[in-house]
């Protein structure tokens, strides 16, 4: 139950935080959504629209990289695993895998603490391992709800940005790694309604 609720809430909170910190990215997302929905009344997001929001998707993914809602997972080895240096993890051992650590590896992600959605530009992901970005885990035990979670975040983010400007506060959130990655003291933002004529 919590995996389908707290994780998405955490993901949305952090992406709103990042877009508040980067108004140029926020505005680019807003323009992308406006362009997509410009001739529609009422303004609604449909399933087929979700693939037509590439920059908004890049912003979500970069936020999930910096702040994966589930910071670590565990897996039981079903066979002996030989590491590159020759050491062996024996079958039956439970390993903790740090998704947070993978997403902040400077050998894969230069300047890992910098929010840069262009890391997920199509040209930039060609040479990257598919296991370098695993906010929903990977392999046969990955998150069965990842497509729904991404769709949910895109819809909420798109409709929020159509109606509101998200502004930062002076409060700098600290990461609080629990079962779900939270912000210590919460994520505080200011929300400013966009005027009817602001389009």
> Please, what are the averages of pLDDT over each run of 10 residues along the chain (199 residues)?
68 94 97 90 84 96 94 92 95 94 95 96 87 87 84 94 93 80 85 71
pLDDT at 196: 53
In order of their start, the domains of the chain are 2-69+99-193 (1.10.630.10)
Per-residue HEC secondary structure of the chain comes to CHHHCHHHHHHHHHHHHHHHHCHHHHHHHHHHHHHHHCCCCCCCCCHHHHHHCHHHHHHHHHHHHHCCCCCEEEEECCCCEECCCCCEECCCCEEEEEHHHHHCCCCCCCCCCCCCHHHHCHHHHCCCCCCCCCECECHHHCCCCHHHHHHHHHHHHHHHHHHEEEEECCCCCEEEECCCEEEECCCCEEEEECCCCCC
pLDDT at 161: 96
pLDDT at 41: 75
pLDDT at 33: 95
Is 29 annotated in a binding site? The answer is: no
Of 172, 66, 68, the closest CA to residue 113 belongs to 66
Residue 12: exposure state from Cβ atoms within 10 A (0-12, 13-18, ≥19)? buried
pLDDT at 197: 45
Measured CA to CA, the distance from residue 93 to residue 75 in angstroms comes to: 8
* Residue 60 near residue 98, CB atoms below 8 Å: no
Q: State pTM to two decimals.
A: 0.89
Of 33, 80, 56, the closest CA to residue 153 belongs to 56
Task: Write the Ramachandran bin of 111: left for phi over 0, alpha for psi from -120 to 50, otherwise beta.
Answer: left
């Amino acid at each position: 139950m919590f995996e389908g609720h707290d994780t998405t809430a955490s993901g949305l909170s952090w992406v709103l935080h990042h877009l508040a910190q980067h108004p140029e990215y926020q505005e680019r997302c807003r323009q992308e959504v406006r362009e997509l929905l410009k001739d529609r009344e009422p303004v609604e997001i449909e399933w087929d629209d979700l693939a037509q929001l590439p920059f908004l998707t890049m912003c979500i993914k970069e936020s999930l990289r910096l702040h994966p809602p589930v910071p670590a997972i565990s897996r039981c080895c079903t066979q002996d695993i030989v590491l590159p240096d020759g050491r062996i993890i024996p079958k039956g051992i439970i390993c903790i895998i740090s998704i947070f650590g993978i997403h902040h590896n400077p050998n894969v992600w230069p300047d890992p603490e910098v929010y840069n959605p262009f890391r997920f530009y199509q040209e930039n992901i060609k040479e990257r391992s598919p296991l370098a970005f695993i906010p929903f885990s990977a392999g046969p035990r990955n998150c069965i709800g990842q497509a729904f979670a991404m769709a949910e975040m895109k819809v909420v983010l798109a409709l929020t940005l159509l109606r509101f400007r998200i502004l930062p506060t002076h409060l700098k959130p600290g990461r609080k790694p629990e079962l779900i990655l939270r912000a210590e003291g919460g994520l505080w933002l200011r929300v400013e309604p966009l005027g009817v004529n602001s389009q």
